[in-house]
Each structure stands twice: as C-alpha cells, then as structure tokens.
Structure 1
Amino acid sequence: MKKKNIVLALCAFVGAITFGQEKEPTVPEATEIYEPVPPKVIPGKNGSAPSDAIVLFDGSNLDQWISAVDSTVAKWHLNRDGSMTVKDKTGDIQTKQNFGSVQLHIEWRSPAEVNGEGQSRANSGVFLSGLYEIQVLDNNDNSTYVNGQVGSIYKQHVPLAMASVPSGEWNSYDIIYHAPEFEKGQKVKSGTLTVIQNGVLIQDNVEIKGTTPYIGWPKNPPHGKGPLRLQDHRDNSRVSYRNIWLRELD
C-alpha cells in the first residue's frame, strides 16, 4: 500500500471516531485493503487438481496409500483406466500423510452390474481425519435408512438430495472439511462438512457431532491431523476411485 494511501486511511479512521463512536468513512481509502495479497492459484480443468493441490491418486500408482489395518502396502486393485478398486476383505486404505482442514476432490463409481441391496450394494466411505464418514453407496432404485444413504454424514446428517449418476458412471464429491478443535482433551469447537455431489449441494456446512460408528452414539476423542481413509466394506462392494486431490486449509 502506498504511503499516501496509508496516511489518508489513518486520517479518515481517526477523523471518523468521535467520543468513542465510529462514524461512517467519508473517503474511499478508509475502506480499501491492499495487503496481504492472496496467492495465485491456477485452476485445474474438468476436476483436475489446481496448482497448489496435493495429488493423492492420479491412477499411476498407490504410493500415497497404505493399509489402514497394519500400515503395509495398499492391496487394492490398480486399474488400467486410471482408477483403483476395493479389493474385497483386504481392509481400508489410508493416506501416508496426515491432514487437518481440507478441500477434497474425489471421484467414485459403483459397478454397472448391480449386486446386493440396501447397505450391501456398492458400500464404501470417505473418512476425514480417519474418523468422520461421508457415505458412498449405490442408492439407485435401492432404498435404505436415509442417514446412511449416499452422501450422508453417516448416522448424523441426511443429505439434502440424492444426486447420484446412473450405476456404473463416475460420481464426484467436492468436500470442504473444517476439523474440530480440542483443548486439554476436550472439544472446544465442532468440525463442519460441506459436500457437493456432481455439482449439487448435499451437505451445507453441517456440524460434525463426533465419530460416525455403525452402532452407538458419536464420540469425541481428542485428535490432531489424521489420514484420509477409504473403506473396504467387506461385502464385495467393487467400488472404484480416481482423481483424488486436496488443498490444505490450515
């Protein structure tokens, strides 16, 4: 900011305060801010990663991932089309790196060949901090409990819409996650989640009540940064993932 503008802004601010009450500024410089300048980010195209993103999966390898069970090499199938598919009964996989608040882009696909019903049809999940699940499920002509359907914050928040594409086609999730905050072992601020599925807002800055267990109430164990985890539901779900990247918001 130029020295002249700084002087004008200060004069306007000081002149606007009378007996402890702030008056409306009378010069434009009083409401103009020049620093800090936001960093420049080059956007990606068609869902590809922007210039400041961390690419977690681009289809070439599983180097960024490990088994969530024992931290060994991720055992899911790596496909020729640039995707990976859950390998049944090998367990969840998670990132080697830990993250806090993030903007996450991830694409997933249920099999075109329909198999199973309810929670047993193409069931998987995306876990933020390894704890908070956004449900992945094929709900096309397949009903289930609505706080466990596709796009739900599992057992906590029903999605605003069911915005899935036909079975066998690629869905996208764009997620804004603000991690909860803890002090002295106690939660002092809840985390939040916003989810856009295929361009449709399905979770609007909802409060994370705690963990997302299958049985029981949400719990709030204190934690810092954690991995991104993808679920093997152990029912031959055959869910595939591709084009996974995130931007750290911390």
Structure 2
Amino acid sequence: MNKTVFLMTAAILVAGSVNVMAQKPEDTEVYSPVPTVVTPGATTLEAPSDAIILFNGQNLSHWESVNNPGQPANWEVANGILTVNKKAGNIQTKEKFEDYQMHIEWRIPADIEGEGQARGNSGLFLASIGSGDAGYELQILDSYKNKTYTNGQAGSIYKQSVPLANPARMPGEWQSYDVIWTAPRFNEDSTLKSPARVTVFFNGVLVQNNYELKGPTLYIGQPSYQGAAHGPSPIKLQAHGDNSKPISFRNIWVRKL
C-alpha cells in the first residue's frame, strides 16, 4: 500500500469511527458562538407570476400525508391560515422538485409555553426523501429569547449549520423564510456527484450563505450522503412530536429553477 492510499484509508476509518461514536443527540449540539440578534424589517413578499402557489389560504390540494402518501393532508385550514395537526403527522407536496426558489411564512403561537426545542418546534424539509423526518431540514422554532443549541435554533440547517444571525420576531408575529435550494446530484452508481447547497433569508436577513450540506438531517450522529441517492423530491412540513401548541403557516410558493 503506497502512502497516499494509506492516508486515504486512515481518513475514512477515522471518519467512520467518529460517526459510530456519536450515539447521543448531545454529541452534535453546538452552543457557541451565539448568532448576533438582529431586528428584521417589516415586509411580506408576494408570489411572482411564474410561481406555483403551494398554499393559497383555501385548501391543501398541493399536499398529501407523509404517513399515507396519496391520502389528504389533514392539517387545519381556516381564515387563510394553515395550522399543524400533530396527530396527522408530517405533510409533503404532491409534486417533486429539484432546484427551486421558495417563500414561506410561519407563526409561533403568542401564548407558546415551554423552552428550548420544545417551544414551537417544526421544520421545513427542503427535500423529503422518505417517511417520518427523513430529508434536509431547515429548522423552525421560537428563537426569540429562547436559548437552545445554536445549530438547532430557527434559521439553522438542523444539526449542521448555525445561522449567521438571529432575526427572530416575537411569538405571535409572522416570520418568513426565502430559500434558494440546489438539490444534490448522484452518479449512476449512487455515489455523490455534487452536494446540496442552500441560501436562506430569515425575515429578510441572510442566515445561510450558499451552505454546502454534509448530507440529510440526522438527530443522532454525523450526516453523510452514503445510501441517500435520490432524484427530485417533495417539500415537507413537520408536525413535531413535542407538547407545545402547534404553529401556523401562510403564503407558501415555489419557483422551479
């Protein structure tokens, strides 16, 4: 074995060992540095003419159940607002997407209780690649004066990338994400050709700047693309299993790129 091959083999073994050793959620929680608090401007972005309106305030015709694909998405729609139904589980778009621009608005209940991750927890999965919480998650959470691990606060790529700033509004106020998503590409043998990338504006403030994802989201352990080969995928919204009051959404649209 020559020196180059030896070093590459050693690196792979070390990486594998790290992943095996990370067996607790706490192993991948980051608490510092803490993103700077920023006061966002007050704006709402209307859908452009070529957008696909994923939620028009009236129905969930573009969505389906994740637990029962092909079946209706049984979340509550009232007064132009979509509210999570935790008993019904996650929902995802019927249509599959690759690269896109997306806008979504969300609101934590004004009377939210709890702390940390149990405070208005949800997630926008930029690509859903399986049942449950499988995919690439942009975290949704009350991050207004709510301390938690920084790679798990609002605006983070969950357990991967800490947001560049914290422009969270108070519970009860509408917040927005504007996302530019570049899906990962895979070779015919399922090996990674190019990783996923994402740019995110949170309430108009840049919090993810063309970040290169390390793989699909994992709650425990280090993410990787091994075994994750996929093509165009649905967009998923999470019904998180905590006991806090459910959050709401409105004005959801996407533009294929």
Query: What TM-score does the superposition give when structure 2 sets the normalisation length?
Result: 0.77
Change beyond 3 A, Cα 1:226–1:197: same
Hey, what does 1:79 align to over in structure 2?
78
By relative contact order (CA 8 Å, sep 6+), the higher-ranking structure is: 2
- 1:102 paired with 2:100, answer yes
Alignment root-mean-square deviation, CA: 1.2
Secondary structure of 1:118's partner? coil
Secondary structure of 1:59's partner? coil
Hey, what does 1:181 align to over in structure 2?
185
Q: Distance in 2 between matches of 1:104 and 1:173?
A: 8
Q: Distance in 1 between matches of 2:245 and 2:198?
A: 25
Asked which structure has the greater CA Rg, the reply is 1
Q: Distance in 1 between matches of 2:51 and 2:123?
A: 22
Q: Is the 8 A contact 1:109 1:168 kept in 2?
A: yes
Hey, what does 1:50 align to over in structure 2?
48
Q: Kindly provide the CA deviation profile for residues 112-141 of structure 1, in whole angstroms up to 9, marking residues without a partner as x.
A: 002111100000000011111000000112
State how many pairs are aligned: 204
Cα distance, 1:240 vs structure 2 = 0.5
Letter in 1 for 2:165: A
Hey, what does 1:161 align to over in structure 2?
165
Q: Is the 8 A contact 1:124 1:237 kept in 2?
A: no
Q: Distance in 1 between matches of 2:184 and 2:50?
A: 24
Q: Tell me which moved more, 215-224 or 96-105.
A: 215-224
Letter in 2 for 1:196: F
Q: Distance in 2 between matches of 1:213 and 1:76?
A: 25
Letter in 2 for 1:153: I
Q: Tell me which moved more, 102-111 or 216-225.
A: 216-225
Q: Percent identity?
A: 51
Cα distance, 1:234 vs structure 2 = 1.8
Change beyond 3 A, Cα 1:51–1:213: same
Letter in 1 for 2:138: I
Q: Is the 8 A contact 2:112 2:245 kept in 1?
A: no
Structure 1's consecutive aligned runs of 4 or more residues displaced over 6 angstroms after TM superposition are none
Cα distance, 1:237 vs structure 2 = 4.0
Structure 1 unmatched ranges of 5 or more: 1-44
Secondary structure of 1:89's partner? helix
